[in-house]
Amino acid sequence: MDHRLRIGIFTLVLVLLAALAGCGAASPAPEPAETPPEASAAPTPAPPASPAPAEAPAPKDETIHVGTAGEFLEAVAPGAVIELAPGVYNLTQYLHGTSDNVSAYVARGFTDGWQAEIHGVDGLTIRGAGDGETEIVAEPRYSDVLCFKDSSDIQIENVTLGHTIEQGNCQGAVLEFDSCRNVTLDGLDLYGCGTYGVSADHTAGLTLKNCVIRDCSYGIIDLSDCGDAVLEECTLQDNRGFDMLSVSDSAVLFDGCTFTGNEGDSFLPSYLNPGTTVSARFVRCTFGRWESRCFREERESFEADAIVDEACSWSDAAEGAEEPADPENTFQRVALDTERVKVVPFDAKVLMEDEYYICYEFVNRQSGDVSFEMREDVRFLTFGENGRGCFWTDNEKGRPFSYAMDSDYSCAVAFDDGGRASVGLYADQGGALPVLSEEGHIWLALYLDDEMIWCY
């Protein structure tokens, strides 16, 4: 190939290459889209700060504080918690000036005067302030101090309740419950002249704790158709009258109670008529002289499981020694050896230390003949704080008397019926009576016109 032909071919190749390059320039390949810079992730906003928790409000005091009899009765309502300020709340005086319906839950009833009747209340609490500083009283003899009907979950705490009239003239109870449930009485002082400290009818779940029932004119409690009553750590003292424990168709537990200074026609429940159900259980109880004697004598009238006592304490005088089967037993027939007793000085306080002085031996002052008290016809003497006492015969009215010390060794007795007597105290020097007495035991001698009575 000649030189000119080579140049021509080379030139043609260059042209073709240039043409191809021009086509590429007409349709430039799209440059890849510029990737926008990644947006930096926005910081997650912090959740709004929770407000600082507000301090829990102090619980609202829902106690109703009252200071008068009117405020008290008007505050009575279901679920109410009523606190009485220290003082005396005379319900009768307030009821004189109000209507028959004090509120939807309190009415006034009439006996020989007005009485407060609380009805249809559930969950009521009545609380006294201080120890013995709050007292609720009623004036009428025939009225109850407080009467509850058709109510439940009642709690009364730390209150003294009683009648203003003197002992022996009342025919209304201190507290009355009729058709109620779950009643708790705690730390109450219930005093006479009320007939009973507590009277309840068709009431279930009645509980008394740390209560005192004293100076009532019929007895301690009166329960009818009350299934499960409990008295716990109560002091039951100086009640007079009829059946101390008037219980019918009911079961009652006395746990840790003290019975002292009571007297009446009977001590244990006496309603044993056909068709009635009565049971009483005494646990860790303490009994005075009269109560010990009556308990042991009266329980024989009951079925074996009706009256139960466990870990109880009895008066030493009533405990005595086990009696022989022979009715002519040592306890009844051995005369006191007066050569082994010695007169001792005393004062009125000493006389009152023993609740009862039970007659043991009767000595005819003319003939010197000796006779003995029979257990079924026991007689005894009592000495009260007000210079008054009584020589009780057959548990009836007895012979009331006034007494006063006339020397360090003698006390003068003036019977209301005009009779006169004197009293002396003697200490056993050892062996004065083999069974009942021991060295240091005190005997009381009552000197009447025609006889001398030795009492223990």
Choosing from 319, 349, 364, the residue where a domain stops is 319
Q: What is the pLDDT of residue 319?
A: 43
Q: Is 29 a member of any domain?
A: no
What is the domain extent for residue 421?
Answer: 333-455
**CATH code at 245?**
2.160.20.10
Q: What is the pLDDT of residue 18?
A: 52
User: What gap in Å lies between CA 205 and CA 197, rounded to an integer?
Assistant: 17
| Residues 148 and 238 occupy one common structural domain | yes
pTM for the full predicted model: 0.59
User: What gap in Å lies between CA 98 and CA 445, rounded to an integer?
Assistant: 57
Q: Is 154 a member of any domain?
A: yes
The pairing of strands 379-383 and 81-84 is unpaired
Q: Is 50 a member of any domain?
A: no
CB 445 within 8 A of CB 452: yes
Q: pLDDT for 62-97, tens place per residue?
A: 899 999 999 999 999 999 999 999 999 999 999 988
Q: What is the pLDDT of residue 431?
A: 75
| Residues 377 and 443 occupy one common structural domain | yes
Q: What is the pLDDT of residue 131?
A: 77
Residues in the chain predicted with pLDDT less than 50, given as ranges, are 1, 13, 20-30, 32-42, 58, 317-332, 375-376
Q: Alpha-carbon torsion 338, 343, 349, 353, what sign?
A: negative
| Residues 297 and 416 occupy one common structural domain | no
Q: Which residue has 């537990």 as its token pair?
A: 253
C-alpha distance from residue 177 to each of 28, 46, 80, 111, 300 (Å)? 112, 66, 18, 17, 31
Q: What is the pLDDT of residue 16?
A: 52
| Residues 279 and 352 occupy one common structural domain | no
Q: Is 355 a member of any domain?
A: yes
Q: How far is CA 123 from the centre of its chain?
A: 18
| Residues 341 and 446 occupy one common structural domain | yes
Q: What is the pLDDT of residue 324?
A: 35
Q: Is 20 a member of any domain?
A: no
Number of structural domains, the chain? 2
| Residues 346 and 262 occupy one common structural domain | no
Residue 401 burial (10 A CB sphere; 0-12, 13-18, 19+) = buried
| Residues 349 and 305 occupy one common structural domain | no
User: What gap in Å lies between CA 446 and CA 379, rounded to an integer?
Assistant: 12
Choosing from 270, 291, 319, the residue where a domain stops is 319
Tokens matching residue 314: 């009895």
Q: What is the pLDDT of residue 100?
A: 87
**CATH code at 447?**
2.40.128
Q: What is the pLDDT of residue 123?
A: 97
Q: What is the pLDDT of residue 39?
A: 46
| Residues 133 and 103 occupy one common structural domain | yes
| Residues 315 and 371 occupy one common structural domain | no
Choosing from 272, 291, 319, the residue where a domain stops is 319
Q: Is 44 a member of any domain?
A: no
